Amino acid sequence: MPTSLHENICNEGLFSKIFKKHYQSLHAYLYYKFGDYLNPEDKAQEAFTKLWQNCGKVKPEKAKSYLFTIGNNMMLNEVKHHKVVLQHRQIKPKSHTNENPEFLMQEQEYLQKLQRAIANLTESERTAFLMNRIEGKRHKEIAEILGISSKAVEKRIYRALSKLREEIHEL
């Protein structure tokens, strides 16, 4: 007859024994694995709360495994949550914006003009200009890559800027 009593964790006496037997080891496991920052004591208590809520579904011999799995999963969920929070903290919202529809249209038109003007440059001018302005390379680096002198690079960039100014009238 005593075996039927042990089949049900919903018995307060049995649940209390399981709590006393496994609480400290569950807390220590969570603390050692995840540290104190994620509050392992709360997660251990929540694991026992979930065990109590599902007491009819969990057999006493599986209680320890259930508790450790639930506790570990809660800590992993907390870690994921902290990662998401950190990612959102890194994204800084704009403090102000000038983006009315007219501004957006002008910006789009300007970008199209700039792209057309860059496309109209000769290949040598475009290459030197983009390596300098987009990639941030210095004249000497560009010269080494292209196999020309630094003076030739300066000349190509100067010609590219002059052509862009003429074509766009705003640079």
Which pLDDT belongs to residue 96?
Answer: 64
Helices (H), the chain: 2-6, 12-34, 40-53, 63-90, 101-120, 123-133, 139-146, 150-168
Query: To 5 degrees, how large is the angle CA 109–CA 112–CA 115?
Result: 150
pLDDT at 21 > cutoff 60: yes
DSSP 116: H
pLDDT at 6: 47
**Is the domain of 16 the same as that of 74?**
yes
Task: Identify whether 49 is part of a domain.
Answer: yes
pTM above 0.95, yes or no: no
User: Does the pLDDT value for residue 98 go beyond 70?
Assistant: no
- Token pair belonging to 71: 């506790």
Does residue 136 fall inside a structural domain?
A: yes
- Report pLDDT digits (tens) over 113-154: 888 888 889 989 988 998 998 889 999 999 998 899 999 999
Give the CATH number, domain containing residue 130: 1.10.10.10
Cα 112 from Cα 167, distance rounded (Å): 12
8-state DSSP, 124: H
**Residue 96 covered by a domain:** no
Evaluate if residue 5 carries a pLDDT over 70: no
Last residue of a domain, one of 90, 112, 141: 90
pLDDT tens-digit readout, 46-77: 999 999 999 889 999 999 999 999 999 999 99
**Which pLDDT does position 46 carry in this prediction?**
93
